[in-house]
Amino acid sequence: MIKTQNLTKKYQWLTAVDDLSFSVEPGEVLGFLGPNGAGKTTTMRMIAGFITPTAGSASICGHDVVGEPLAAKAALGYLPEGAPTYGEMTVRQFLDFIANLRSLDGTHRKARLDYVIGRLELEGVLEQTIDTLSKGFRRRVGLAQAIVHDPKVLILDEPTDGLDPVQKHEVRTLIGEIAKEKTIVISTHILEEVDAVCTRAIIIARGKLVADDTPEKLRQRAPSGRLDDVFRTLAA
Amino acid sequence: MKPVGIILRREFASYFATPLAYVFIVIFLVLAGLCTFYFGALYERGQADLLPLFSYLPWLYLFLVPAVSMRLWAEERRSGSIELLFTQPITIWQAVLGKFLAAWAFLGIALVLTFSIWITVNYLGGPDNGAILAGYLGAWVMAGAFLAVGSCMSAMTNNTVIAFVLAFVVCTLFTLAGFTVVTEWSRELFAGIAKWSLWGEGMRSAVESFGAALTDGIATLSFYTHFSNIMRGVLDLRDFLYFGLVITFFLLASTVLLDARKSR
Could you tell me the mean pLDDT of each successive run of 10 residues in chain A, 236 residues long? Answer: 93 90 93 88 95 95 95 96 93 96 94 94 94 91 95 93 86 89 89 86 90 86 80 78
pLDDT of residue B1: 59
Chain B stretch 72-131, residues whose beta carbon is closer than 8 A to a beta carbon of chain A: 79-81, 83-84, 86-91
CB within 8 Å of B29: residues ≥ 6 apart: B110, B113, B114
* Average pLDDT of chain B, as a whole number: 87
Q: Provide DSSP, A130-170.
A: GGGS-HHHHHHHHHHHHHTT--SEEEEESTTTT--HHHHHH
In this prediction, what percent of chain B has a pLDDT beyond 70?
97
CA pair distance B157, B137, nearest whole angstrom: 31
pLDDT of residue B193: 78
Q: How many CB atoms lie within 10 A of CB B156?
A: 19
CA pair distance A228, B12, nearest whole angstrom: 49
SS3 A187: strand
In the sheet with A76-79, reading across from the earlier edge strand, the strands are A76-79, A153-157, A183-187, A29-33, A200-205, A208-213
Q: How many CB atoms lie within 10 A of CB A114?
A: 11
Q: What Cα–Cα distance (Å) separates residue B190 from each residue in A107, B145, B206, B221?
A: 70, 30, 10, 19
For residue B116, the number of C-alpha atoms closer than 13 Å in the C-beta half-sphere is: 8
Confidence class for position B184, pLDDT limits 50, 70, 90: confident
Give the residue from A213, A211, A130, A121 showing the smallest Cα distance to A167: A121
Q: Which candidate from B6, B14, B88 shows the least CB-CB separation from A86?
A: B14
pLDDT of residue B128: 83
CB within 8 Å of B203: residues ≥ 6 apart: none
CB within 8 Å of A99: residues ≥ 6 apart: A109, A112, A113, A148, A149
- Of B50-54, B92-96, B109-113, give the lowest mean pLDDT range: B50-54
pLDDT of residue B44: 73
Pick among B22, B84, B85 to test the A interface (most A CBs inside 10 A):
B84
Inter-chain touch A50–B91, beta carbons under 8 Å: no
Helix or strand run (H / E) with residue B36: none
Torsion of CA A116, A122, A123, A124, to 10 degrees: 180
| Higher local confidence (pLDDT), B195 or A218 | A218
| Higher local confidence (pLDDT), A122 or B210 | A122
Q: Does A14 touch chain B (CB under 8 A)?
A: no
**Global pTM value:** 0.90
CA pair distance A221, A192, nearest whole angstrom: 17
CB within 8 Å of B248: residues ≥ 6 apart: B148
pLDDT higher than threshold 90 for residue B227: no
pLDDT of residue A167: 86
CA pair distance B224, B177, nearest whole angstrom: 8
Among the ranges A119-123, B120-124, B211-215, which has the highest mean pLDDT value? A119-123
Q: How many CB atoms lie within 10 A of CB B136?
A: 22
Chain B stretch 16-75, residues whose beta carbon is closer than 8 A to a beta carbon of chain A: 17-18
Give the residue from B99, B95, B93 showing the smallest Cα distance to B69: B99
CA pair distance B177, B62, nearest whole angstrom: 13
pLDDT of residue A182: 93
CA B6 to chain centre: 25
Q: Does A16 touch chain B (CB under 8 A)?
A: no
| Higher local confidence (pLDDT), A120 or B178 | A120
Kindly identify which residue of chain B lies nearest to residue A54, measuring between CA atoms: B263
pLDDT of residue A126: 95
Q: How many CB atoms lie within 10 A of CB A55?
A: 13
CA pair distance B126, A90, nearest whole angstrom: 48
Query: Could you read off the pLDDT of B4-26 as tens digits, one per residue?
Result: 999 999 999 999 988 889 999 99
Q: What distance in Å separates residue B140's CA from the closest CA in chain A?
A: 27
Give just the sign of the alpha carbon dihedral B245, B248, B250, B253: negative
For residue A109, the number of C-alpha atoms closer than 13 Å in the C-beta half-sphere is: 12
pLDDT higher than threshold 90 for residue B46: no
For residues B96 and B255, is the Cβ–Cβ distance under 8 A? yes
pLDDT of residue B197: 61
CA pair distance A51, A231, nearest whole angstrom: 28
Helix or strand run (H / E) with residue A213: strand A208-213
Q: Does A98 touch chain B (CB under 8 A)?
A: yes
